[in-house]
A and B are shown apart, each in its own frame.
Chain A
Amino acid sequence: MTKATKLSRRSVLKGGAATAAFAAGTTLGAPMIWAQNIKDITLRQFGTGVSNLNDVADKVKEDLGFTLEMTALDTDSVTQRAATQPNSFDIADIEYFICKKVWAAGNLQAMDTSKIKNYDKIVGIFRNGLLTPGSTIAQGTAPHTVGFTSGPDGTDFVQEESGWMTLIPTIYNADTLGIRPDLIGRPITNWSELLNPEFKGKASILDISSIGIMDMAMVVESMGEYKYPDKGNMTREEIDMTLGIFTEAKKNGQFRSFWKSFDESVNLMASGEVVIQSMWSPAITAVKSRGIECVYQPLEEGYRSWGGGIGLSKSLTGLERDAAYEYINWYLDGWVGGYLMRQGYYSAVPETSKNFMSENEWGYWFEGKAATDVITSPTGDALAQAGDVRDGGSFDDRMGSVACWNSVMDENQYMVRKWNEFIAA
């Protein structure tokens, strides 16, 4: 089936758009796309549930004319597919730390930044790592360190803006612990509270090793047990020590459950089984939309941050690649950004997203101002009332206090095995 469609696409290409193929082959100018051919194009995108939204696919069809097929998977499966099934996708919507894992496998192609219209407006975090000229770069796999490669066929990472990006940034956020203030009844200000015996049998952590280990490191540092030289790249001893502390807590019955999928975290929190846990921003939103109090608690030690972007499959060429660039430019043009920002994420080009948000929404989500009216999610659920302020405040406050990025360590293999033991212990 796939073979057959590819053949027909190829003949379409030969017949109608040899010039487009030429344009794609060079780096000159904007991609030229022939309206009559573009309708036949189907791009297959896969990624985590956060940004693989059917609304986006529908809007692509409407605005750009071609078909975008979305597949949403969990973080581990995404990594798996990007690494092992390069022919199963055209566009990979992956996280930067996954990119570090899979880039060397050569399944993705570098992207020419001169074809990205809004490249200059992409926030500093993804270009030189600096949110503002004076900020410090957090530990872990900061996106800019794996965001550029040396050339069109590069399999390495370079530390300067080389003009060839591995991923085009699309979405990112600062993560922290979620709490049930109604069941806790006192202020929570530190990561160490996750292991506070007060919450014995009422805490949870996520069972995704590369993210969970960072949450653990934040907790260990906050407890004053150890100060990591680099949380994002632990030594074997540090991994043993970190997991040792958590294994002990697990044996003492600190955790009610671990969670792996978004829904599990929502259910644990909404049912009151758990009152404090690692959580993702839209999960908080989901709990709130059930009318249950839930706070994405900013903590003194800062946030654990993550970023995702779009990568192109190595096998993508010609008209389809042009369509993919068109899609990327559209992605950064604001509609998707606005959609994502109204869910609590951040867009790589916030200023274009502003055009697709009301002043109230922009003020609440981005500037950290009190809402002047009801804030609703893109699907229409009320998330905040007039007068409410976003947990953690403005974009600069939140992204400015990132302590570490999700990461892949040199000792990843070892960490994964130890993690497995932790779960089994």
Chain B
Amino acid sequence: MQARPNLTGWLMVSPLAIVLAVFLVLPIILIGVVSFWTATEFSIIPAFSWENYDFLFGSPVTYSVFLNTFKYAIITWALTFSIGFTIAYYLAFHIRTQTWQIALFLLCTIPFWTSNIIRMISWIPFLGRNGIANSALISWGVVDEPLDWLLFSDFAVILAFVHLYTLFMVVPIFNTMMRIDKSLIEAARDAGASGRQILWNVILPLTKSGIMIGTIFVVTLVMGDFITVRFMSGSQSANVGRLISNDIALLQYPSASATAIVLLATVLITIAILLRFVDIRKEL
């Protein structure tokens, strides 16, 4: 074995390489191939055609749906980031003992002991026209009649996204914050920095990698989602994921594949741009 270090290297890498090739690369290639085919109701015609992309890029709905997808991603990111950063900051710098830090951190994860779908659907009776939120608001005299925009609206979609994905922001940011050397903060304080300056000039730059990891999680999850948008908007709003799922339901596999390829490219470009800002590997 020693004589052929190359072989050992190849052998060690091959299980993962094979798994990735068979279960990730191959399916994506297949989706790419199918996206150039055409379909009728009951058959797929394997002949090269630009038709799906033509239709996709020719329809104004595509652009508005992609725009909508980005809108969800950006708003959700902004909210999960501010909430996630605040929680992580509080846990890391205001809670003194490690026991409490861990206890409170675990507290944050309790909602995640149930499934995503259940957590999402439980919002529906809560926000409904005769739901708890509206009855409470009416009985407090805040509003006279039920607020319709609480449910089946963009508000509801984003609320669910924020609820579902904030933890993905908290965890990596908390993790990087915990590894910040406390003496750096003391040094900044000694040098006369105010609390705000410490946050901006010391803590924020040092948690960049955590923020970036959280961002990648949230952005990819939101951009790839379809079920949250379907349930929380009452099927009335669309993102790219829903476009794909509608196509699949209507047996339009090639058209769904084309949309999937465009979405994949969009997400990859987004992540590539994000990674230009921070070198995650250096920071890990």
Question: Which residues of A are in contact with B by a Cβ distance under 8 Å?
Answer: 76-77, 79-80, 83-84, 101-102, 104-105, 201, 204, 207, 209, 250, 255-260, 267, 271-273, 408, 412-413, 416-417, 419-421, 423-425
Among residues 82 to 106 in chain B, which have CB atoms less than 8 Å away from a CB atom of chain A? none
Q: A423-B238, A424-B64 are in contact. Are A417 and B42 (CB under 8 A)?
A: no
- Assess the A272–B129 pair: CB atoms within 8 A: yes
Separation of A257 and B65 alpha carbons in the complex (Å): 18
Question: Which residues of chain B are within 8 angstroms of A408 by Cβ–Cβ distance?
Answer: 41
- 1/0 per residue, CB under 8 A from A, across B224-251: the answer is 0000000000111010001100110111
Q: Counting chain A CB atoms within 10 Å of each CB, which of B41, B251, B255 scores highest?
A: B41
- Assess the B148–A424 pair: CB atoms within 8 A: no
Q: Which of A76, A83, A257, A421 contacts B152 (CB 8 A)?
A: A257
> Would you call B205 an interface residue if the criterion is a C-beta within 8 Å of the partner chain's C-beta atoms?
no
- Assess the A76–B249 pair: CB atoms within 8 A: yes
Question: Which residues of chain A are within 8 angstroms of B125 by Cβ–Cβ distance?
Answer: 271
> Would you call B166 an interface residue if the criterion is a C-beta within 8 Å of the partner chain's C-beta atoms?
no
- Secondary structure at chain B's binding surface: helix, strand, loop or mixed? loop
Q: Which of B61, B65, B128, B250 contacts A209 (CB 8 A)?
A: B250
> Would you call B215 an interface residue if the criterion is a C-beta within 8 Å of the partner chain's C-beta atoms?
no
- Assess the B236–A258 pair: CB atoms within 8 A: yes
Q: Which of A80, A101, A273, A424 contacts B151 (CB 8 A)?
A: A273
- Secondary structure at chain A's binding surface: helix, strand, loop or mixed? helix
- Assess the B249–A425 pair: CB atoms within 8 A: no
- Assess the B242–A83 pair: CB atoms within 8 A: no
Among residues 155 to 189 in chain B, which have CB atoms less than 8 Å away from a CB atom of chain A? none
Q: Which of B41, B151, B235, B252 contacts A423 (CB 8 A)?
A: B235
Select from chain A the residue with minimum beta-carbon distance to B55: A417
Question: Which residues of chain B are within 8 angstroms of A207 by Cβ–Cβ distance?
Answer: 235
Question: Which residues of chain B are within 8 angstroms of A204 by Cβ–Cβ distance?
Answer: 234
Separation of A3 and B250 alpha carbons in the complex (Å): 30
Q: A420-B243, A420-B247, A423-B238 are in contact. Are A201 and B148 (CB under 8 A)?
A: yes
Known: A207-B235, A255-B236. 6 other contacts (CB 8 A): A77-B249, A257-B152, A257-B234, A419-B250, A424-B238, A424-B242
Separation of A408 and B249 alpha carbons in the complex (Å): 15
- Assess the B251–A425 pair: CB atoms within 8 A: no
Question: Which residues of chain B are within 8 angstroms of A258 by Cβ–Cβ distance?
Answer: 234-236
Q: Counting chain B CB atoms within 10 Å of each CB, which of A201, A258, A423, A424 scores highest?
A: A424
- Assess the B130–A423 pair: CB atoms within 8 A: no
